[in-house]
């Protein structure tokens, strides 16, 4: 099989892994080729709009496991291939020199057994790091079930490591991926997390200690393959961030490539909006100081398809608004819809010099269309602002959702809003379904 | 400084020349209505004054900026100077004058129109430079990695350092077609020069092979069920496509493809397993 066919088969098998960042570490190529940029660099964007920054491939897609959601499960009729470690190292170097990629994302199906698979991956990365002196970014997946010393060696060669949790609850895991136990997934995560911690103490004592996964650890969950709710997922993400000090949790909307006897069938729409809401919530947890319990709770287990989580929270807490722009704390400013991290920082910088008014806020990049309902400047609301429930809700909705629901800009046209109720909007059930499955 | 609305400075287009314009503002105590380079058409009505570039005067202004505003401010002013915006010289000069008046505090005066415009330009230049870190595509020509780009702003001085670090001693060239600037590195030394054009040989078989492999990877990695060309366009506007091999296909032409073309190429290249 020539390398072009192998590349096609093995990148086709790897494409459902959402992790695609090359951020988290700065490195210069003092003694080799390549460097890392702290913010990460996007080299291209695929036809589905996702960023391409790394050469994302499996070392092999010949798997002995049969996890039902996975396209590479044993027994599934797809072409199988395997790179030799040197072939992959050569390919990576040549792509890297042409600035096609920032580095390598290496995962693998489990060939023979987890230890053997890990050893093959280590060989490929050793060729890259030691023989070709590659100093670019490497993201390696840890193989659940592999020996801890092998995982440790992998961490010394890679910049970021990850273990995919895939399914958000033990029950789903038992049903859909019986070869992987909860222990076999969480154990390497905790090993990696502990090793990273030990490494940071070692580096304090000895500056040239070898670095273990300097860009940290991440993981991924599949959305829509199991009945777990948004609340369970976001609570699990929060716990993972706290317990394992992960850098990122990725969410991957389920594409029906799995075993159709127990999973959604082919033709089921991919739950893109739900994935989008989860990423919005993830950002709120990491950058806006929210906790999972503030966004959802036992009674509200799913995100609202009409409004993003931050808006929902703001609408549910009218007691803290309106905020005075020239006085409010940074933490509270972050909670206003239409004010992001950058705008909030600019507000507190600019207001040291002068009192701000609405035209100043516009210059600073605040989205007044949304924020105007929640803030005052110098004690006053925006001039000419009429606060009606329907008008406000229309303005807070995203353009795509409003267009899909056929809601015009003039609040008077709406028939949805005749009785403002606790349930906010009362669209048809089909519209809810359309939102959830990404047709809107 | 009194504001005379009819004086327009005209200078040679160099950074030192711009600093001399600022020097002139203080010499004759006016703030000009416009600053243009000598190769721009003189469309505004008013009195035009040509400013000669004098290195001593430029150095005095530069030292003043470093002392009053810090080294970082000087880097920011250089960035704005690289902008393609027509007003960049005037905005930069006004910012420097404000800086001399208020000191370091000027960077916090975000509600001020001049400061706001200055930082907007700086962001625009910085954003384009950051995109190019990823979108530059090299071809191997006789052992030298060569690339051509056509940016709106003159980003080569900003991205040069990154690629010098990245290539770790290998020779490379990046040619900016719009601004006729290039960074040339022998591996040991690098410099930024002005050249009219860069002659490139047709790619050899090894180069073509890796371009084809990259296109295979690019076409395969997208998930059909999530096809979203608008999202792709937001992140990677079409103006970058002409020098990126995954969008141009086998031809080396500058013709940018439409979404339909790209997808046709994608479908034609698909292997039987994909359908």
Chain A residues touching B236 at Cβ < 8 A: 44-45
List the single residue in B105, B113, B232 with the smallest CB-CB distance to A47: B232
Burial grade of B229 (CB within 10 A; 0-12, 13-18, 19 or more): middle
Q: Does B204 touch chain A (CB under 8 A)?
A: no
Q: Does B214 contact A42 at a Cβ distance shorter than 8 Å? A: no
Looking at residue A205, what is its pLDDT? 85
The strand ranges marked E within B113-264 are: 139-141, 144-149, 172-176, 181-185, 190-194
Q: Does A44 contact B228 at a Cβ distance shorter than 8 Å? A: no
The kind and range of the H/E element at B73 are helix B71-81
Say if residues A131 and A184 touch (Cβ distance below 8 Å). no
| DSSP secondary structure of A85-143 | HHHHHHHHHHHHHTTS-SEEEEE----SSHHHHHHHHHHHHHIIIIIS-B-SEEEEEPP
The kind and range of the H/E element at A304 are none
The alpha-carbon gap from A417 to the nearest alpha carbon of chain B, in Å, equals 31
Say if residues B121 and B98 touch (Cβ distance below 8 Å). no
Q: Does A253 touch chain B (CB under 8 A)?
A: yes
Say if residues B223 and B255 touch (Cβ distance below 8 Å). no
Contacting A residues, span 96-135, partner chain B, CB-CB under 8 Å? 97-100, 102, 135
Q: A108 vs A95, A111, A119, B141, B225, CA distance in Å?
A: 20, 8, 11, 35, 23
Q: Does B150 touch chain A (CB under 8 A)?
A: no
Q: B76 vs A39, A248, B13, B79, B124, CA distance in Å?
A: 19, 32, 17, 5, 12
Q: Does B216 contact A4 at a Cβ distance shorter than 8 Å? A: yes
Question: Measured between alpha carbons, how far is A202 from A205 in angstroms, rounded to an integer?
Answer: 5
Question: What residue in B sits closest to A101 (Cα-Cα)?
Answer: B134
The alpha-carbon gap from B245 to the nearest alpha carbon of chain A, in Å, equals 9
- Strand A160-162 to A217-223 pairing: parallel
- Strand A44-45 to A51-52 pairing: antiparallel
Sign of CA dihedral A143, A147, A148, A151: negative
Nearest to B151 by CA among B190, B124, B169: B124
Q: Does B108 contact A352 at a Cβ distance shorter than 8 Å? A: yes
Per residue in A293-315, is it b (16+ CB within 10 Å) or e — as a string?
eebbeeeeeebbbbbbbbbbbbb
Report whether pLDDT(B259) > 60. Answer: no
Q: What is the DSSP letter of A291?
A: -
- Strand B172-176 to B181-185 pairing: antiparallel
Instruction: List, for residues B71-90, the tens digit of each pLDDT value.
Output: 999 999 999 999 999 999 99
Q: Does B147 touch chain A (CB under 8 A)?
A: yes
Nearest to A18 by CA among A226, A220, A163: A220
How many residues can be counted in chain B?
275
Helix crossing, A429-436 with A272-287: angle to 10°? 70
Question: Measured between alpha carbons, how far is A160 from A214 in angstroms, rounded to an integer?
Answer: 7
Q: A35 vs A20, A41, A156, A207, CA distance in Å?
A: 17, 11, 17, 19
How many secondary structure helices (H) and strands (E) does chain B include? 10, 8
Alpha helices (H) along A366-418: 368-371, 389-396, 399-404
Question: Cis bond leading into A322, ω under 30°?
Answer: yes
Chain B residues touching A272 at Cβ < 8 A: 226
Angle at A337 (CA atoms; ends A416, A415), nearest 5 degrees: 5
| Neighbour tally for A115: CB within 10 Å | 15
Instruction: List, for residues B166-179, the tens digit of each pLDDT value.
Output: 998 899 999 999 99
| Reported ipTM | 0.87
Q: Does A364 touch chain B (CB under 8 A)?
A: yes
| Neighbour tally for A413: CB within 10 Å | 13
pLDDT by 10s per residue, chain A, length 440: 899 999 999 999 999 888 778 887 777 767 788 888 888 899 999 999 899 999 999 999 999 998 888 889 998 999 999 999 999 999 999 999 999 999 999 999 999 999 999 999 999 999 999 999 999 999 999 998 899 999 999 999 999 999 988 888 888 888 888 888 888 888 888 999 999 999 888 888 887 788 899 889 999 999 998 889 999 999 999 999 999 999 999 999 998 888 778 888 888 888 999 999 999 999 999 999 999 999 999 999 999 988 999 999 999 999 999 999 999 999 999 999 999 999 999 999 999 989 999 999 999 999 999 999 999 998 888 777 877 878 888 888 887 777 777 766 554 444 444 444 434 444 445 554 555 555 54
The alpha-carbon gap from B196 to the nearest alpha carbon of chain A, in Å, equals 24
Q: Is B181 left (phi over 0), alpha (psi -120 to 50) or beta?
A: beta
């Amino acid at each position: 099989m020539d390398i072009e066919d192998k590349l096609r088969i093995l990148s086709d098998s790897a494409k459902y892994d959402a992790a695609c960042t090359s951020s988290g570490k700065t490195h210069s190529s003092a003694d080799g080729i390549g460097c890392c940029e702290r913010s990460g660099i996007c080299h291209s964007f695929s036809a589905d709009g996702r960023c391409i920054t790394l050469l994302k491939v499996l070392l092999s897609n010949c798997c002995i496991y049969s996890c039902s959601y996975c396209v590479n499960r044993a027994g599934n009729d797809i072409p199988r291939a395997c790179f030799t470690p040197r072939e992959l190292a050569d390919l990576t170097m040549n792509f890297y020199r042409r600035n096609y990629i920032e580095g390598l994302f290496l995962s693998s199906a489990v060939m023979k057994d987890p230890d053997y698979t890990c050893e093959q991956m280590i060989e490929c990365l050793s060729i890259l790091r030691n023989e070709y002196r590659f100093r670019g970014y490497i993201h390696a997946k840890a193989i659940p079930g592999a020996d801890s010393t092998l995982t440790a060696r992998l961490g010394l060669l890679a910049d970021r490591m990850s273990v995919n949790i895939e399914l958000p609850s033990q029950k789903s895991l038992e049903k859909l991926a019986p070869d992987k136990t909860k222990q076999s997934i969480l154990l390497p995560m905790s090993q990696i997390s502990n090793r990273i911690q030990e490494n940071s103490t070692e580096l304090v004592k000895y500056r040239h200690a070898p670095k273990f996964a300097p860009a940290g650890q991440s993981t991924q969950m599949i959305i829509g393959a199991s009945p777990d709710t948004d609340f369970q997922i976001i609570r699990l993400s929060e716990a993972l961030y706290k317990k394992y000090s992960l850098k990122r949790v990725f969410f991957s909307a389920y594409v029906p490539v799995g075993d159709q006897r127990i999973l959604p069938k082919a033709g089921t729409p991919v739950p893109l909006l739900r994935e989008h809401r989860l990423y919005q919530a993830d950002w709120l947890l990491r950058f806006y100081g929210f906790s999972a319990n503030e966004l959802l709770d036992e009674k509200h287990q799913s995100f609202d398809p009409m409004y993003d989580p931050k808006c929902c929270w703001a609408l549910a807490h009218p007691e803290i608004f309106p905020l005075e722009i020239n006085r409010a704390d940074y933490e509270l400013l972050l909670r206003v819809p239409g004010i992001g991290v950058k705008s909030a920082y600019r507000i507190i910088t600019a207001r040291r010099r002068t009192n701000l008014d609405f035209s100043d806020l516009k210059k600073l990049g605040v989205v007044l269309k949304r924020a105007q309902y929640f803030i005052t400047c110098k004690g006053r609301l925006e001039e000419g602002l009429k606060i009606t429930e329907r008008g406000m809700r229309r303005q807070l909705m995203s353009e795509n959702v409003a267009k899909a629901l056929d809601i015009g800009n003039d609040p008077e046209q709406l028939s949805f809003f005749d009785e403002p109720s606790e349930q906010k909007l009362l669209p048809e059930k089909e519209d809810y379904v359309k939102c959830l499955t990404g047709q809107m | 400084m009194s504001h005379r609305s009819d004086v327009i400075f005209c200078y040679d287009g160099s950074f030192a020349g711009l600093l001399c314009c600022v020097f002139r503002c203080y010499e004759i105590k006016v703030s000009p209505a416009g600053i243009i380079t000598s190769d721009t058409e003189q469309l505004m009505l008013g009195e035009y004054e040509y400013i000669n570039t004098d290195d001593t005067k430029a150095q005095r202004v530069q030292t003043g900026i470093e002392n009053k505003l810090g080294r970082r401010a000087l880097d920011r002013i250089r960035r704005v100077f690289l902008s393609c915006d027509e007003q960049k010289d005037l905005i930069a000069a006004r910012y420097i004058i404000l800086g001399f008046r208020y000191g370091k505090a000027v960077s916090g005066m975000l509600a001020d129109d001049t400061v706001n415009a200055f930082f907007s330009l700086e962001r625009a230049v910085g954003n384009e430079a950051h995109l190019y870190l990823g979108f530059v595509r090299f071809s191997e020509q006789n052992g030298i990695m060569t690339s051509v780009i056509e940016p709106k702003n003159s980003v080569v001085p900003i991205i040069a350092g990154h690629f010098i670090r990245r290539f770790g001693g290998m020779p490379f060239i990046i040619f900016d077609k719009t601004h006729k600037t290039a960074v040339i590195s022998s591996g040991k030394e690098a410099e930024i020069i002005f050249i009219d054009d860069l002659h490139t040989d047709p790619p050899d078989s090894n180069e073509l092979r890796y371009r084809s492999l990259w296109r295979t990877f690019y076409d395969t990695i997208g998930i059909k069920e999530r096809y979203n060309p608008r999202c792709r366009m937001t992140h990677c506007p079409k103006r970058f496509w002409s020098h990126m091999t995954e969008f141009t296909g086998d031809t080396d032409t500058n013709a940018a493809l439409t979404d339909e073309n790209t997808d046709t190429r994608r479908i034609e290249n698909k292997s039987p397993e994909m359908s």
